[in-house]
Chain A
Amino acid sequence: MTTLPMTVLLHEGPIARAYLAALRRHGFRPAALVRMVARRHPVTGRPLGRWLPTLVADLYAERVEACSRHHWPDKLRREHPALWLAVREALERWRSGSAGLLDEMAVPLNDSAHADRVVRVRADGPGDPAVLPALHHMGQPLVLFTGGGIVPPALLEQQFRFLHIHPGLLPHVRGADGLLWSTLLRGRPGATAFFLERRIDMGPVLAAREYSPIRVYTPGDCLDDETLYRALFAWCDPVLRAAALIDLLRDRPGLDPAMRTVPQDPAAGAVYPFMHPLLRRAALRRIFLS
């Protein structure tokens, strides 16, 4: 195992599971892990375990949060097993080892198995006051940000550099629904490893690449766009990001915050919003083929 000099900042969720499973499967181990456990329910916003003793409240919150963030992957696997198998096969064809990665993503996260040092903090996002001391405590200047909120400017101004994987080729495809916009505009998915800065998806780039198209041959039953969209974000998007992370580590084995980067041209490309259902359908039809 190669220990990576970085802290992984995560919420339980498909992307975090994909990163940690991929790192483990490729012989990497982050030096530290800061796991944010939500104070409030990710969907309803209600406080989690407010009336329980702290230890029990933390365990309760952790469990509820994991169930909430994995609601769609679990539900889709349960209710659409043929779709799950089709995506699994497609991603394995797309990148060898993805089927095993997806299987591992289906199992609840055992964070202590993935890093030497693990700290859990009750936090609803990276802007929570509990996060900064935890990152300082870990002492790693490089932080892998796995999503789950916006990193606030106050945190970006600290001595840390936040590594993020964006599912789109920067600077061309910034913003939301990156995998769908990439598919529609460029005919293939892309992913970019870059350091976060104040402006969204504008930070200096470590590695940007495009991949072969993902083609999922869906089973005969007629699946609605919402189901396919959920499947895309439950499985395809996290696997794409994990692949880009592993590619970065292969290209840059000496991972450190002072790595050479390429600044982005702010005038190039565009920041894309969430897709309207009509455009989304067109993009989904290019990934999910009957």
Chain B
Amino acid sequence: MTRLSKLLAELAHGGPLSAEEARVLDTLAWRISTKRQLPPDTAADSTRDAEDAATWVQAARALLAHAVATDPGDPDARGRALKRLNAALRALDEARARGACRADLTALDDVAASTLELLLRL
């Protein structure tokens, strides 16, 4: 398992994030949303890693696991969650373009749709 995959697997847990994990996740989200790239520092150990459909699926899964508003009444908290969801949707697009497993994509599409619905209802 590469460093990036390991990191994404760790971030995919649903529990609370440490400050450092949140920072890493938000850097990942920003990089995906603005450049459609996974962070080069974490992908450095495998250039293929960043192009691999499975890694993009992992990134989407990690982002979706934390696209949750900690304080639903606070627009900034919802904004942070929606930013992660935004990046997850971009990651899913990249995974789809790279021919990711359909079952994985369908499952994550469903999670993304329900997360969006929840965040917009708050």
B34 within 8 A of A: yes
B34: which A residues are within 8 A, CB to CB?
273-274
A269–B76 touching, CB < 8 Å: yes
Scoring A residues 163 to 179 as 1 if CB is less than 8 Å from chain B, else 0, what string do you get? 00000000011000000
A184–B76 touching, CB < 8 Å: no
Contact A270/B80 with A185-B75, A276-B89, A278-B89 known, Cβ cut-off 8 Å? yes
A154 within 8 A of B: no
B116–A272 touching, CB < 8 Å: no
Classify the secondary structure of B's interface with A.
helix
A185 nearest CB neighbor, chain B only = B75
Range for the number of chain B residues in contact with chain A: 10 to 19
A195 within 8 A of B: no
B11: min CB distance to chain A, Å: 19
A258 within 8 A of B: no
A52 within 8 A of B: no
Range for the number of chain A residues in contact with chain B: 10 to 19
The CA of A186 and the CA of B83, in the complex, are separated in Å by: 14
Scoring B residues 93 to 110 as 1 if CB is less than 8 Å from chain A, else 0, what string do you get? 100000000000000000
B55 within 8 A of A: no
Classify the secondary structure of A's interface with B.
mixed
The CA of A33 and the CA of B25, in the complex, are separated in Å by: 44
A43 within 8 A of B: no
The CA of A173 and the CA of B75, in the complex, are separated in Å by: 10
A288 within 8 A of B: no
Of A270, A276, A278, A282, the contact of B79 (CB 8 Å cutoff):
A270
Known interface pairs A185-B79, A279-B82; 13 further A-B residue pairs with C-beta atoms within 8 A, sorted by A's residue number: A172-B76, A185-B75, A185-B76, A269-B76, A273-B30, A273-B83, A274-B34, A276-B89, A276-B90, A278-B112, A279-B85, A279-B89, A282-B116
